[in-house]
């Protein structure tokens, strides 16, 4: 049994469009809120955390609804198509409201686009396991994540090319370029993937029932490890997401980068993460997941501390962000597998929910908390803030005693890219 790479790439176009949008959202929206509408850092952080709060409720809701859909277009495709169309229409209102300095319209459009994106995010992610035989889903997940990285890099390139200098550039060309990519990606998906037909063929391959061991209560030791790693997940997301959500503002104010110059650092971090997945997979197969994660946290903390000393942009900062990308990949490649390693086969979905609940809660809180320090203390608190939460994650991760089974050596390169969506 071999993975159909062409089909999996086509399925991954939905995730590519999602990643392209969120890269633009996290990078550009904070600048619009600050420069066009003159919001303070705390208020900006509060608005930037809304998407994560909504995701806690909307992603399970729409994912569950898509499970119950039956029809000629399949379970997931109607959500993907409708969500994309609604998102593209509403997102193009955002640059108009920005140029018109119409804050009420901007906020209403922002809320609408967040709901529209949530409408198809879970169904889009669920499409890959739906249409991939169970033994091949790790490889499939690798392909999906690579497509997501391509979408993020596309957005960063468009920011670099299309965003002009000045505090309030015209973002219409950027939004149109992302809308075009989203429509093109979903059009390719719809024209090439016949969900119902493929689902039937996959169900025939997966006829044999999966054997589950009887789930029981976690032992006290296992429960402690689960709690400690979930706390660690929250802490390193508190650190990393604070930097990502505030970096465009930090780079323009502290390092005085103009136009889309701040995108260089983010692009370098993303590309270095992609390149590092394979060696990280090899390293973790030899030394274990926990040691690899601790190494990643330590490297990330050192880079945050390093960046804190720069008062203006320097080429060495690019090296630091390349290392941050490697560190973040080391954490992400291994943390989700450690969580589900502690679950019985009947509770993997439940434990997956635990992982996303802790990671997304942190992403909802940290823009607000870090924004408070940026506004009322100094912009220079951003990297010390991230450094502090990284150290806390290092301490809590050291208390984890389970979930550290060394994975078998991979036979194919793409299996090393298997990370969470």
The pLDDT tens digits of the residues spanning 377-394 come to 998 999 999 999 999 999
CA distance 390 to 385: 9
Please tell me if the domain spanning 1-205 has the same topology as the one spanning 218-421: yes
CA distance 281 to 195: 32
Per mean pLDDT, which range of 38-42, 85-89, 388-392 is the poorest?
Answer: 38-42
DSSP 216: -
| Residue range 218-421 in CATH 3.40.50.2300 | no
CA distance 308 to 301: 11
CB 416 within 8 A of CB 142: yes
- In the structure, what pLDDT confidence band is assigned to residue 421 with cuts at 50, 70 and 90? very low
Q: Cα 207 to chain center, whole Å?
A: 33
Inform me whether the pLDDT recorded for 129 exceeds 80.
no
Helix axes 50-67, 41-48, angle to 10 degrees: 10
CA distance 294 to 386: 16
pLDDT in tens, 304-329: 999 999 888 888 999 999 999 999 88
- In the structure, what pLDDT confidence band is assigned to residue 260 with cuts at 50, 70 and 90? low
Phi, psi dihedral angles at 253 (to 5 degrees): -90, -50
- How much is the pTM? 0.67
Inform me whether the pLDDT recorded for 419 exceeds 50.
no
Mean pLDDT across the chain, nearest whole number?
A: 82
pLDDT > 90: percent of the chain: 35
- In the structure, what pLDDT confidence band is assigned to residue 209 with cuts at 50, 70 and 90? very low
Secondary structure (3-state) at 169: coil
CA distance 157 to 164: 13
pLDDT at 213: 41
3-state per-residue secondary structure call for 330-396: HHHHHHHHHHHHCCCHHHHHHHHHHHHHHHHHHHHHHHHHHHHHHHHCCHHHHHHHHHHHHHHHHHH
Residue count (the chain):
421
CATH class of 1-205: mainly alpha
CB 304 within 8 A of CB 243: yes
Inform me whether the pLDDT recorded for 249 exceeds 90.
no
Give per-residue burial for 309-331: e unless 16+ CB within 10 Å, then b: eeeebeeebbebbbbbbbbbbbb
Inform me whether the pLDDT recorded for 96 exceeds 90.
yes
Query: Domain spans of the chain?
Result: 1-205, 218-421
Distance separating the N- and C-terminal Cα atoms of the chain: 24
Average pLDDT over residues 208-232: 73
Average pLDDT over residues 360-383: 88
């Amino acid at each position: 049994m071999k993975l159909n790479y062409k089909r999996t790439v086509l399925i991954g176009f939905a995730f590519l469009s999602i990643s392209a949008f969120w890269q633009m959202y996290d990078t550009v929206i904070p600048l619009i809120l600050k420069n066009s509408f003159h919001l303070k850092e705390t208020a900006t952080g509060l608005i930037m955390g809304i998407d994560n709060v909504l995701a806690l409720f909307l992603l399970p809701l729409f994912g569950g609804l898509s499970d119950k859909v039956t029809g000629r277009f399949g379970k997931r495709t109607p959500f993907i198509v409708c969500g994309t169309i609604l998102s593209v229409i509403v997102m193009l209102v955002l640059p108009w409201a920005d140029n018109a300095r119409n804050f009420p319209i901007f906020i209403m459009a922002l809320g609408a686009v967040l709901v529209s994106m949530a409408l198809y995010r879970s169904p889009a992610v669920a499409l890959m396991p739906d249409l991939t035989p169970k033994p091949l889903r790790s490889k499939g997940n690798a392909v999906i994540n690579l497509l997501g990285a391509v979408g993020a890099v596309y957005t960063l390139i468009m920011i670099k090319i299309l965003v002009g200098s000045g505090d309030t550039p015209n973002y219409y060309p950027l939004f149109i370029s992302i809308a075009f990519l989203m429509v093109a990606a979903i059009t390719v998906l719809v024209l090439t993937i016949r969900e119902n037909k493929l689902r039937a063929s996959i169900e025939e391959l997966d006829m044999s029932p999966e054997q589950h061991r009887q789930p029981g209560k976690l032992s006290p030791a296992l429960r402690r490890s689960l709690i400690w790693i979930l706390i660690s997940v929250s802490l390193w997301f508190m650190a990393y997401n604070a930097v990502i959500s505030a970096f465009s503002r930090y780079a323009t104010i502290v390092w005085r980068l103009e136009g889309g110059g701040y995108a260089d650092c983010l692009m370098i971090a993303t590309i270095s993460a992609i390149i590092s997945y394979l060696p990280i997979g090899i390293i973790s197969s030899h030394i274990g997941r926990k040691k690899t994660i601790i190494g990643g946290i330590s490297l990330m903390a050192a880079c945050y501390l390093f960046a804190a000393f720069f008062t203006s942009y320097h080429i060495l900062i690019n090296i630091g962000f390349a290392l941050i990308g490697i560190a973040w990949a080391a954490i992400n490649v291994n943390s989700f597998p450690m969580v589900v390693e502690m679950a019985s086969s009947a509770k993997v979905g439940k434990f997956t929910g635990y992982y996303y609940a802790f990671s997304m809660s942190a992403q909802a809180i940290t823009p607000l908390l870090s924004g408070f320090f940026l506004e009322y203390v100094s912009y220079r608190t951003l990297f010390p803030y991230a450094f502090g939460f990284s150290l806390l994650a290092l301490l809590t991760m050291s208390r984890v005693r389970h979930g550290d089974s060394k994975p078998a050596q991979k036979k194919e390169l793409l299996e090393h890219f298997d990370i969470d969506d």
